[in-house]
Chain A
Amino acid sequence: MKNFIKGSMVAAAMLMGASSFAQIADENNVTVTMELVPVLQLNMNTTDQISFVFDEIPEYIGGITKYGATILTVSSTVNWDLFASGTSGVHNANPLNRQWDFVVGYGPSTAVTTGVGSREVLPLTALELRQFPSTTVNNGATPTQAAYYNTAFSAALGTAGTWPNNIYVTSGVSPYTPSTDVNDPYIAGGAGLVNYVDGGTYLTQTGSVGNTNYYFVIDYRIVPGLPAIFPKAGTTVGTDASHTLGATGAAFSTNAAVGIAGAYARPGVYTMNVKYLLIENQ
C-alpha cells in the first residue's frame, strides 16, 4: 500500500513536471534607450579676420564694402535662432561701453574726451551687415520678428535716420545675450518663442540658391565719412538713437561724452569682434 502511494506521488510529480514543460511559452526582453543630444553647429569656412584700411579720400566718403566676406552654415537638431553680436574688449568689460578697442593712434593729434577734437572712441554700430539670402528666414507660424540684415546698404552720403544694417550691440548686458526686441536684427529666427527656424542642416538642402534656411553669406560695410564721424552709426537698442560722433544725441559710451559738433575719429587702428551666435529657440 505505502509503495503504491509513493509510486503514485512520484508519477504525479513527473506528470506535473511534464505538464509545466510541455507548455511552450517564454519571452526575452531587450531594453532600448535612445539619447538625443541637442546639437547646434555653426560653421564659418571663411577668414576670421577682416581688415578695413581707409587710406583714400573716396574710401572715407563712400566707405568700404566687403562682399561675401563671411559664409555661415548651420546644422541643428533643435529649433534655433541666429544673430550677430558686435563687441570688443572694453564692451565685454563693461557692456555699457559700446565702442571699438583702440589699439594705436597715428599722428600728433591728442585725443579728447569732451568738446571739439579727435576721439579714440568709435561706436561698434559703425559696422554694417547685409545678409544673403535676403528673404526672411523664420519658420514661426505667426512670426513677429521685424528686423533682419536683409535690406540693401543705404547711400553712403548723409547721416542715417534708420539703421537696419547696423550690427546688434547689447546695451548693459553680455554680448551673448539675445535680444528680446523684435526690432533688433537677427539673421534667422528672431526674438521670443514664436520666431525660430526648424531643425535641419545645409547638407541636405536642395532648394535653389538663395532659398535655403541654413546657408548665409554676410557682407560688411564701414563708412567713416568726411569728417570721420561715422554717419551711419546708430541703433535701435535702448534709447540711443544715434551713435555718430558728430551728433548731439545721447552717448554710446560711458568713457567719453561723444556726440558733439567738431568731434571726429582719431586716425589709428581699432579692432572689434563680431560674434555669430547660434542658439536654441528661446
Chain B
Amino acid sequence: MYSSKISICFIISMMLLNVFYIQGQAKCDDLTRSNCDAFPLSRLLLPNQQNAQLIEFEFDNISEYQAGKTYYGSTLLRLIVSDTANNDCIWKLKMHITNGGAPLPTQEWETIATYGSSGAKPQLDLIQVRVTNSCQSSPLNGSWQTFAAVDNADITIIDNAFPTPAGTLYGCSGGETNGEGSYLTNPGEFSFSIDYRIIPGLTKTPGKYEMAIKFCITE
C-alpha cells in the first residue's frame, strides 16, 4: 500500500521531467544529460538601451556604409552553473541566428520595410559577432565570426568534449572551461562579452531589416 503510492509519485515526477526535457530541446537542441544546475543571466549594456534586448544599426551616411558600425559589449552573458552531483557537469554555449523561418528565403534578413529596389537584400552572414572574456576561454575569443547565411545557423562559443573545471577564485583554468562555477567567483570564465559589427557596403537594398540571435546554454 505505501510502496504503491510512492511509485505513483515517482511516475508523476518523471513525466514532469520529460516535459521540461522536450521544451528544452525545442529551444536549444542537443540535450542529453542533466548533471548541471544553471542560472544563465543575460543583459544588454548598449547605451540608452539598458536591459532592452534590441540592437539597432542605422546607416545613414556614406562613411557608415563603407566602414560599418560596431557595438562593443552590447550583450553581456553571465553564467552560474552548479553540479547536481558527482561533479560531472559539462555545459556548452552556442548562439543561433534566425530570420523567423519560412516563408522567408532562408538566407535573408526579415524585411520590415523597403526604401528602394536597387541592390541586393542583405543576407544573414552580414552580421559579425565577436566573443571575448578575460580568460579567453572560448576558442573563438577575440576574433570576428560570421554565421552561415542560413536560418538557424549557429556559432559555438564553448563546446569542450573534456571536462575542464573552473580555475581558482577569480582565476583562469587556462582552457575551455565547461564545469560548474559562477561569474561571481570566476568572472573571466563565466561571463562573455559579445560585440556586433555590420559593414553593409554600397550595394544593398535600402530598407529596414530584422533578425534574432539566440544564446543557448545546454549540457
Q: Knowing A27-B216, A77-B206, A280-B116 are in contact, say whether A35-B58 is a contact too (CB < 8 A).
A: yes
Q: Report Cα–Cα, A245/B19, bound state, in Å.
A: 91
* B37 close to A35 (CB less than 8 A): no
* A24 close to B219 (CB less than 8 A): yes
From B2, B17, B81, contact of A23 by CB (8 A): B17
- Give the total of A residues in contact with B, Cβ under 8 Å: 46
Q: Report if B202 contacts A (CB, 8 A).
A: yes
Shortest Cβ gap from A279 to chain B (Å): 11
Contact indicator per residue, chain A 4-45, by CB within 8 Å of chain B (1) or not (0): 110011011001101111111111111111111111010000
Q: Report Cα–Cα, A22/B33, bound state, in Å.
A: 9
Shortest Cβ gap from A142 to chain B (Å): 17
From B20, B34, B215, B218, contact of A30 by CB (8 A): B215
Q: Total number of A-B contacts with CB less than 8 angstroms?
A: 203
* B115 close to A22 (CB less than 8 A): no
A21 neighbours in B (Cβ, 8 Å): 37
Q: Which of B8-16, B136-144, B157-165, B167-175 contacts A (4 or more CB under 8 A)?
A: B8-16
Size bracket, chain B contacts: 35 or more
A9 neighbours in B (Cβ, 8 Å): 9
When C-beta atoms are compared, the residue in chain A nearest to B11 turns out to be A12
Q: Report Cα–Cα, A25/B79, bound state, in Å.
A: 12
Q: Report if A208 contacts B (CB, 8 A).
A: no
* A24 close to B55 (CB less than 8 A): no
From B56, B60, B66, B209, contact of A204 by CB (8 A): B66
Q: Report if B156 contacts A (CB, 8 A).
A: no
* A28 close to B42 (CB less than 8 A): yes
* B218 close to A77 (CB less than 8 A): no
Q: Knowing A12-B13, A22-B34, A77-B204 are in contact, say whether A34-B214 is a contact too (CB < 8 A).
A: no
Q: Report if A170 contacts B (CB, 8 A).
A: no
Scan residues 113-156 of chain B and give those whose CB is less than 8 A from a CB of chain A: 115-116, 118-119, 122, 126-127
* B118 close to A28 (CB less than 8 A): no
* A30 close to B57 (CB less than 8 A): no
When C-beta atoms are compared, the residue in chain A nearest to B97 turns out to be A32
Contact indicator per residue, chain A 183-223, by CB within 8 Å of chain B (1) or not (0): 00000000000001011110110000000000000000000
* A15 close to B34 (CB less than 8 A): no
* A78 close to B35 (CB less than 8 A): no
B53 neighbours in A (Cβ, 8 Å): 28-31
When C-beta atoms are compared, the residue in chain B nearest to A78 turns out to be B118
Shortest Cβ gap from B79 to chain A (Å): 10
B6 neighbours in A (Cβ, 8 Å): 8
B44 neighbours in A (Cβ, 8 Å): 30
* B66 close to A201 (CB less than 8 A): yes
Shortest Cβ gap from B186 to chain A (Å): 17
* B84 close to A77 (CB less than 8 A): no
When C-beta atoms are compared, the residue in chain B nearest to A20 turns out to be B20
Q: Report Cα–Cα, A39/B57, bound state, in Å.
A: 15
Shortest Cβ gap from A56 to chain B (Å): 45
B216 neighbours in A (Cβ, 8 Å): 25-27
Q: Knowing A27-B214, A29-B214, A32-B127 are in contact, say whether A76-B24 is a contact too (CB < 8 A).
A: no
When C-beta atoms are compared, the residue in chain A nearest to B196 turns out to be A32
* A33 close to B208 (CB less than 8 A): yes
* B118 close to A31 (CB less than 8 A): no
Q: Report Cα–Cα, A214/B54, bound state, in Å.
A: 36
* A34 close to B209 (CB less than 8 A): yes
Q: Report Cα–Cα, A19/B11, bound state, in Å.
A: 12
Q: Report Cα–Cα, A27/B116, bound state, in Å.
A: 36
B207 neighbours in A (Cβ, 8 Å): 35-36
Q: Report if A79 contacts B (CB, 8 A).
A: yes
Per CB-CB distance, the 9 closest pairs between chain A and chain B, nearest first, are A25-B24, A12-B9, A79-B118, A28-B42, A199-B202, A38-B206, A24-B38, A37-B60, A24-B36
Further pairs besides A1-B2, A29-B213, A32-B210: 14, Cβ < 8 Å: A12-B12, A18-B84, A19-B14, A23-B219, A24-B38, A25-B31, A25-B217, A27-B214, A32-B55, A32-B56, A32-B211, A36-B59, A36-B200, A78-B119
Could you list some 21 contacts between A and B, CB below 8 A? Answer: A12-B13, A19-B16, A19-B17, A22-B35, A24-B218, A24-B219, A25-B27, A31-B55, A31-B212, A33-B210, A34-B122, A34-B127, A36-B65, A36-B115, A36-B207, A36-B208, A38-B206, A39-B60, A75-B202, A76-B202, A77-B59
